[in-house]
């Protein structure tokens, strides 16, 4: 089966090479378009290596365990919105009939706020609308990309308790204390854009009180005797939202406190920022990395 996966991967990469070649024969100005709306300011984050706590539920036998921590390469640069998408900009999409209204009473009569009370589905629709209006390629980040650009604002959700078959309550108690602490930090009222300052990459309000939607699906893995992880389940009706802690939320939920949080403490608010694809090369690298992840968890 391993030989099959390698052969399959090589054949896919060969075909995809044709796609990559088009970067060198197609001028990026050929499809240039005059934007109908202002292009949001972005920060370009260069490739690098970082420690990443894998997303998903990880089981040792029938017991929940910490996800593996891996040192990985972010192999392509990221152009990331400097700020969260604002309530004003999101309203432009609503006014155009391309987005559903946000479900958030906090927005009424208040200016300068990030958009909150939006679902994953809302965020995807906004990205599609912004693509059409600007002629650029906007999308939600993956959980892995978010974890990289969060940098010093990244929260590691590992409990770091050794598994003890004779006393599983140790982990339950540690998890209870962690969730109690997170609930104590809860602050429902959104604050003005920029209120939480910049991270080391120059991105505002990362891990403030607005969680950011990603396009990473919920997955369940089983940790093997050699500590490798084998995927057994994927649900793309539940997505990762990132902030003060990682959360798993149903795609149609606009307010996680009202329900739809698959596990753990619900986020204070749901919003988003987008990543912009700048070259076909970076898009190709992202596609290849995603394919590698799929193959490693499927065979």
Model pLDDT for residues 70-105, shown as the tens digit of each residue:
999 999 999 999 999 999 999 999 999 999 999 877
Contact 274, 137 (CB under 8 A): no
The pTM (predicted TM-score) of the whole model is 0.78
For 234, what's the count of Cα atoms within 13 Å in the CB-facing half-sphere? 11
Label residue 209 left, alpha or beta by phi (over 0 means left) and psi (-120 to 50 means alpha).
alpha
Model pLDDT for residues 106-162, shown as the tens digit of each residue:
666 677 899 999 999 999 999 999 999 999 999 999 999 999 999 999 988 777 666
> H/E element holding 135?
none
Model pLDDT for residues 5-27, shown as the tens digit of each residue:
444 444 544 444 444 444 433 34
Contact 182, 215 (CB under 8 A): no
Q: Specify the range with the lowest mean pLDDT, choosing from 20-34, 39-53, 63-77, 161-175.
A: 20-34
> In the beta sheet, which residues pair with residue 73?
49
Residue 216, helix vs strand vs coil: strand
Torsion sign (Cα): 160, 164, 168, 170: negative
């Amino acid at each position: 089966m391993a030989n099959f996966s390698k052969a399959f991967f090589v054949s896919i990469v060969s075909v995809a090479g044709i796609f990559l070649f088009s970067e060198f024969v197609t001028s990026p100005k050929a499809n240039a378009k005059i934007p109908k709306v202002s292009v949001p300011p972005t920060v370009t984050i260069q490739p690098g290596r970082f420690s990443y706590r894998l997303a998903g539920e990880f089981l040792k036998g029938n017991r929940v365990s910490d996800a593996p921590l891996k040192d990985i390469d972010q192999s392509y640069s990221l152009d990331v919105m400097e700020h969260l998408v604002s309530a004003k900009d999101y309203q432009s999409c609503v006014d155009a009939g391309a987005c559903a209204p946000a479900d958030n009473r906090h927005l009424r009569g208040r200016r300068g706020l990030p958009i909150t009370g939006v679902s994953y589905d809302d965020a995807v629709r906004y990205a599609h609308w912004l693509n059409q209006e600007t002629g650029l390629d906007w999308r939600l980040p993956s959980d892995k990309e978010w974890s990289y650009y969060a940098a010093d604002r990244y929260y590691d959700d590992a409990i770091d308790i050794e598994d003890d078959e004779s006393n599983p309550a140790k982990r339950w108690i540690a998890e209870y204390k962690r969730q109690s602490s997170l609930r104590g930090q809860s602050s429902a009222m959104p604050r003005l854009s920029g209120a939480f300052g910049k991270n080391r990459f120059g991105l505002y309000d990362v891990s403030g009180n607005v969680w950011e939607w990603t396009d990473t699906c919920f997955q369940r893995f089983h940790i093997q005797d050699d500590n490798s992880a084998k995927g057994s389940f994927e649900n793309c009706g539940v997505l990762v939202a990132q902030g003060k802690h990682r959360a798993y939320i149903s795609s149609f939920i606009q307010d996680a406190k009202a329900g739809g949080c698959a596990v753990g403490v619900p986020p204070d608010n749901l919003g988003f920022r987008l990543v912009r694809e700048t070259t076909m090369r970076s898009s190709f690298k992202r596609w290849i990395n995603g394919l590698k992840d799929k193959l490693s968890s499927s065979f």
